[in-house]
Chain A
Amino acid sequence: MELSGAQILLECLKREGVEVVFGFPGGAVIDIYNELPNASFKHVLVRHEQAAIHAADGYARASGKVGCCLVTSGPGATNTVTGIATAYMDSIPVVILTGQVPTPLIGNDAFQEVDIVGITRPCTKHNYLVKDVKNLAHVIRQAFFIARSGRPGPVLVDLPKDVMQTKTEFVWPEDVHMRSYNPNYKPHAGQIRKVAQLIRDAERPLIYAGGGVISSHAHEALTWLAQNLHIPVTATLMGLGCFPGNDKLWLGMLGMHGTYAANMAINNADFVLAVGARFDDRVTGKVSTFAPKATLVHVDIDPTSIQKNVSVHVPLVADCRLALEALKEELEPSLAVYDFEEGHRPWLGKVAAWAKEHPLTYKPSAETIKPQHVVEVLHELTHGDAIIATEVGQNQMWAAQFYKFNKPNAFLSSGGLGTMGYGFPAAIGAQFACPDRMVIDVAGDGSIQMNIQELATSVANKLGIKIVILNNGFLGMVRQWQELFYKRNYCETCMDAQPDFVKLAEAYGAKGFRISKTAELRRVLQEALDTPGTVIVDVLVEREENVYPMVPAGASLTDMLLV
């Protein structure tokens, strides 16, 4: 049977298992929208295209599946670029479908025409312009395959209007074969034996885990290795949740706002297993003094991550889960021979002493609400089970530090790109992925305003998302840098003109709460969490609170500013 391009597209999305598409219609995609009533998936109408891509990204992070969004040509497409770059930096599988002007008009500066394939070339894993409807099914199949395989990432497919209208025979490609794309998953057996021996020989071992552990579902294997071999674990922002936050081997996050124990451990370890992490500058600080005493092993599926920022001793290009499972298999028999617990006892004692010496902390106050305390109370009230999305800045760091994640796929944050305005739309995506979970966006008063219009989307879809604004009336992280490194020159960081967030929530049909006293924090937060539907909680916090520890940019990890 002959189908139109639009019909073929919907059929392909169905076969790819797409459950929800976040989108916004327009002239170039009107043929696709015309077919939507027959679609197998739900379409969620956002209020700005940036939110469509962030929601698809949040859906992908929370579910582990490929997220999908659909926007029109020109401005619709360009509005997704920030979100595409966000997903690209954090290796999140998303397929972006953009409308395009009809093929005969391409290149003529037609109305709402933009070369989105050209614009997104450096921030997508791959992208396509479909010029012939006969290639459509094939391209969609490849797009999903590329997005989810290897090191995941965003793939954009540009769909000219006439291609969506043209009819052709629909043929579903049963499998995908690409001679130029074959990611390597299996770890090299010789390298595994080498790493296993290094682990046996190590006296002061440490696991440094990143987002790759979460995207490859390696958390169980990682937890097994750490707990059975008695190796302490630290993680990057992207890796939070890959290891139980309540385990005694957990050191907390490392890097610029990492814990004292984690940064001291990486500085003193004689063996570091870096897995699914990429030695980002926010993690390493000054590269030449990073893990100076350690034999470094780096497990990553992307060969370009290895030897890029830091020179490692043993590279291992493989899927993190397969590599850690191979290590488990190799090391399990050693448990009968080696007493890892006894061997690592002095090291674990040292690590515990660091954690005791400078734990994550803040100075409590009777007068003002401490933002860290808000996150602690949230953790308590949700029993650590909520999905936490964050915006970017201080709110993000406090959420990362003080919410103890026990499970993967529960912390949604723009790690690599640091995109303000990410959290709320990502929370919307996560709520569609996990309708029965509590989803909270920990926000700042600056970031939340970057995609505040999505209140309409959340209310329209009756989503129970709770937005907790840590409101300090500042762009807090920039203000912190100005305070510490720019002689308190608070240039353009004071947000003195603010909306009334409670009234704003009400205007959108959501519910609003305001908390200004520590004494009422727990009660009102609980009430907000118990309130059905979309809720904003405007928490007026200490205005000039800083995130500590802090390693100044470019300094060594041991040069921490502490509370």
Chain B
Amino acid sequence: MRHTLSVTVENEPGVLSRVAGLFSGRGFNIESLNVGPTLDPGASVMTVTTEGDEQIIEQIVKQLRKLITVIKVVDLTEMKSVLREMILLKVNACDANRAEILRTVDIFRCKVVDVSIDEITIEATGNHEKIEAIIGLLNRFGIKEISRSGMVAMKRSMQG
């Protein structure tokens, strides 16, 4: 099963390679990884999506907590949370396809951020399923390039 982990770390050199090295060294899989600053300038948050059975996820969480520079690890999959990924897609857009592409953009509430004679660049935001659905639908027109942010996530205020 896919799990999204929010890992708060000390904001210091080498911390990313400690986390990445832990995953590669122990044979765990990183599906996506996003790193960014927090309100505390001394700390950063890494959002890691990974896959594994219960025992593997338990090991990943414990091993992350064992790293000296890791402050906090939360498995957001175990609680109500908001998960979002942003994606930029460059799609082939000839005259025949352009209308259909724009309709898809509308339905998924995406944005067109760049246009040329034969290409449209689209910005989309959503959870994993939505992003996969957009890619699935636009694939038939020919996606020339793709850039994904990796998942960012936050616990919902109301957990009840």
A positions within 8 Å CB-CB of B: 117-118, 121-122, 125-126, 129, 146, 178-181, 302-304, 307-308, 311
Chain A, Cβ-Cβ closest to B55: A307
Question: Would A146 and B58 be within 8 Å (CB), given that A117-B14, A180-B10, A304-B63 are in contact?
Answer: no
Are B62 and A304 in contact, with the CB atoms below 8 A? yes
**Nearest chain B CB to A139 CB, angstrom units:** 12
Q: Which residues of B contact A181 (CB under 8 A)?
A: 68
Chain A, Cβ-Cβ closest to B70: A180
Q: A125-B68, A181-B68, A307-B55 are in contact. List 17 more A-B contacts (CB 8 A).
A: A117-B14, A121-B17, A121-B18, A121-B21, A122-B21, A122-B22, A122-B25, A126-B68, A180-B68, A180-B70, A180-B71, A303-B62, A304-B59, A304-B62, A304-B66, A307-B59, A311-B55
**Nearest chain B CB to A456 CB, angstrom units:** 37
- B20-45 CB mask vs A (1 if < 8 Å, else 0) is 01100100000000000000000000
CA distance A117 to B55 in the complex (A): 30
Determine whether B81 belongs to the interface, using a CB cutoff of 8 Å to chain A.
no
Question: Would A118 and B17 be within 8 Å (CB), given that A307-B55, A307-B58 are in contact?
Answer: yes
Q: Interface majority SS on B: helix, strand, loop or mixed?
A: helix
**Nearest chain A CB to B64 CB, angstrom units:** 10
Show 15 residue pairs from A and B whose CB-CB distance is below 8 angstroms, ordered by the A residue.
A118-B17, A121-B14, A121-B18, A122-B25, A125-B68, A129-B14, A178-B68, A179-B71, A180-B10, A180-B69, A180-B71, A304-B62, A304-B63, A307-B59, A311-B55
Find the residue from A129, A181, A302 having the highest chain B CB count within 10 A: A181
CA distance A126 to B15 in the complex (A): 11
Q: Which residues of B contact A307 (CB under 8 A)?
A: 55, 58-59
Q: Which residues of A contact B13 (CB under 8 A)?
A: 129
Q: Which residues of A contact B22 (CB under 8 A)?
A: 122
Q: Which residues of A contact B66 (CB under 8 A)?
A: 302-304
Find the residue from B55, B59, B66, B70 having the highest chain A CB count within 10 A: B66
CA distance A382 to B21 in the complex (A): 46
Chain B, Cβ-Cβ closest to A183: B66
CA distance A96 to B77 in the complex (A): 40
Q: Which residues of A contact B59 (CB under 8 A)?
A: 304, 307-308
Indicate which residue in B10, B21, B25, B65 contacts A303 across the interface (CB closer than 8 Å). B65
**Nearest chain B CB to A280 CB, angstrom units:** 16
Q: Which residues of A contact B10 (CB under 8 A)?
A: 180
